[in-house]
C-alpha cells in the first residue's frame, strides 16, 4: 500500500508587501485581486492546519501541484520553500510549478531554482520537465505547464518538447508495470477548466498522448475544485483528479471550498489496483482538518506488457 497526499494551490498566505517596481508589471493586477478578495479566501491559518494534518498522516509521499505563490515574488518563493521543507525531505515531497509561480517573465526560473530539490527527477542533479520519481510500484511524473502570460490570462502550455518526452516516459514506465501518476497544474483535458483564458492550450495533444500511451492517474489543481473524471486509454481506464486549494476553508460558505486529498494505492494483483480517495479539509472555525468523504475506485491494466511479472521491484 502506498499513501500519497495531494495538495495544490497553496497560494502561500498572506501576501508579502509588494516591492515598488512590481507596480509596473502584471503583478499589479494580481495585487489588486488579492486586496479585493483573495486575502479573505486564502488563509494562513487554514494552510497551517492543513500542513499539520498532512504531517500527521505519515504518507509515503506528498505531491504539490503548483500555484505555491500568488505573484511569484521572491519573498513568496522563499516562504514556499520553507513550506515544502516543513512537509518532509525532498525525496518524499514532489512539487511542480503553476501559472501564479510564473506570474511575470523570470519568476518561474527563480521559483524552480529555489524549489529544485523537490522537482528533480531520479538520477538528475537539477530540475528538468518532465521528471520521473520512482517510489516503489508508483512512478511520479512531474510536468510544467506554467508559462508567463499577459494580464488576466492564466492559461498554461506544455509545448512540443515536453509532450514528446512525456510520451516516452509513459511508455517506459508502463512497460515496467508501474502505477503511473502524472502531476500537472492545469486540468489535462478540455472542459475541466473555466474557459479559454484558464485552460491548457495544448490539452487536446496531451489527451492524445495519455490515451495512446496510457496512464493510471493524473493529478491537477488550478481550478480550485474537486473533480474525478475517467479517461479511456490503451492500457485501461485512467482517472483525472483535481484537488481544491489547500489554503481555502472547506464548507458551504465558500464558492470553491478548499481541501486536499489522501490517496491510498493498493496493488491487489498483477496490473490491478484499488484506489481509495479521501477528501480532507478545514471547516470554518474547526481546530483541525477532518475527513469530508471517501471514494473507492478500481483500476485495471487491460494489456499488460509481456515483460511484466508482478510489477516493478518493491524497492525500485
**In angstroms, what is the minimal distance from the CB of 221 to Fe ion?**
6
**In angstroms, what is the minimal distance from the CB of 154 to Fe ion?**
6
**In angstroms, what is the minimal distance from the CB of 137 to Fe ion?**
30
Within 170-189, the residues that bind Fe ion by CB under 5 A are none
The answer to whether residue 9 forms part of the interface with Fe ion (CB under 5 A) is yes
**Interface region with Fe ion, contact rule CB under 5 A, candidates 44-52, 173-181, 221-229, 274-282:** 221-229
**In angstroms, what is the minimal distance from the CB of 13 to Fe ion?**
12
DSSP one-letter code for 156: B
Q: Give the C-alpha distances (Å, rounded to integers) separating 41 from 27, 30, 248.
A: 19, 14, 6
**Interface region with Fe ion, contact rule CB under 5 A, candidates 110-118, 163-171, 187-195, 222-230:** 222-230
**In angstroms, what is the minimal distance from the CB of 245 to Fe ion?**
6
Q: Which of 26, 27, 222, 283 binds Fe ion (CB under 5 A)?
A: 222
Q: Which of 12, 34, 51, 67 binds Fe ion (CB under 5 A)?
A: 67
Of 149 and 222, nearer to Fe ion (C-beta) is: 222
Q: How far apart are CA 70 and CA 38, in angstroms?
A: 9
Nearest Cα to Cα of residue 18 among 30, 1, 6? 30
C-alpha cell, 142: 512531474
Of 148 and 305, nearer to Fe ion (C-beta) is: 148
Strands 227-233 and 61-65: unpaired
Within 88-147, the residues that bind Fe ion by CB under 5 A are 98-99
DSSP one-letter code for 56: H
Of 244 and 271, nearer to Fe ion (C-beta) is: 244
| Count of residues that interact with Fe ion, criterion CB under 5 A | 5
Of 99 and 139, nearer to Fe ion (C-beta) is: 99
11 touches 34 (CB < 8 A): no
**In angstroms, what is the minimal distance from the CB of 214 to Fe ion?**
27
Q: How many CB atoms lie within 10 A of CB 258?
A: 30
Q: How far apart are CA 185 and CA 88, in angstroms?
A: 21
At residue 23, the 3 state secondary structure works out as helix
Q: How far apart are CA 86 and CA 102, in angstroms?
A: 23
CA gyration radius, the chain: 18
Name the residues that contact Fe ion, by CB under 5 A.
9, 67, 98-99, 222
Amino acid at each position: 500500500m502506498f499513501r500519497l497526499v495531494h495538495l495544490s494551490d497553496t497560494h502561500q498566505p498572506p501576501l508579502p508587501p509588494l516591492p515598488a517596481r512590481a507596480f509596473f508589471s502584471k503583478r499589479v493586477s494580481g495585487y489588486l485581486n488579492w486586496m479585493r478578495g483573495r486575502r479573505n479566501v486564502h488563509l494562513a491559518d487554514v494552510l497551517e492546519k492543513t500542513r499539520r494534518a498532512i504531517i500527521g498522516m505519515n504518507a509515503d509521499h506528498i505531491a504539490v501541484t503548483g500555484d505555491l505563490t500568488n505573484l511569484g515574488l521572491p519573498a513568496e518563493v522563499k516562504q514556499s520553500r520553507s513550506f515544502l521543507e516543513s512537509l518532509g525531505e525532498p525525496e518524499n515531497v514532489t512539487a511542480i510549478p503553476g501559472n501564479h509561480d510564473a506570474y511575470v517573465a523570470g519568476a518561474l526560473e527563480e521559483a524552480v531554482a529555489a524549489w529544485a530539490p523537490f522537482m528533480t527527477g531520479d538520477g538528475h542533479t537539477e530540475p528538468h520537465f518532465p521528471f520521473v520519481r520512482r517510489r516503489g510500484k508508483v512512478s511520479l511524473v512531474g510536468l510544467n505547464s506554467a508559462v508567463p502570460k499577459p494580464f488576466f490570462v492564466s492559461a498554461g502550455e506544455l509545448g512540443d518538447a515536453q509532450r514528446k518526452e512525456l510520451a516516452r516516459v509513459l511508455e517506459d514506465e508502463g512497460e515496467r508495470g508501474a502505477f503511473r501518476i502524472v502531476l500537472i497544474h492545469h486540468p489535462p483535458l478540455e472542459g475541466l477548466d473555466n474557459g479559454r483564458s484558464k485552460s491548457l492550450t495544448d490539452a487536446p495533444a496531451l489527451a492524445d498522448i495519455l490515451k495512446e500511451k496510457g496512464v493510471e492517474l493524473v493529478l491537477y489543481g488550478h481550478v480550485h475544485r474537486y473533480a474525478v473524471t475517467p479517461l479511456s486509454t490503451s492500457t485501461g481506464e485512467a482517472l483525472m483528479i483535481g484537488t481544491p486549494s489547500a489554503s481555502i476553508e472547506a464548507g458551504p460558505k465558500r464558492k470553491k471550498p478548499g481541501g486536499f486529498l489522501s490517496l491510498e494505492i493498493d496493488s491487489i494483483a498483477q496490473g490491478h489496483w484499488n484506489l481509495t480517495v479521501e477528501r480532507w479539509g478545514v471547516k470554518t472555525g474547526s481546530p483541525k482538518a477532518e475527513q469530508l468523504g471517501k471514494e473507492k475506485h478500481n483500476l485495471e491494466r487491460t494489456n499488460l506488457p509481456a515483460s511484466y511479472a508482478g510489477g516493478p521491484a518493491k524497492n525500485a
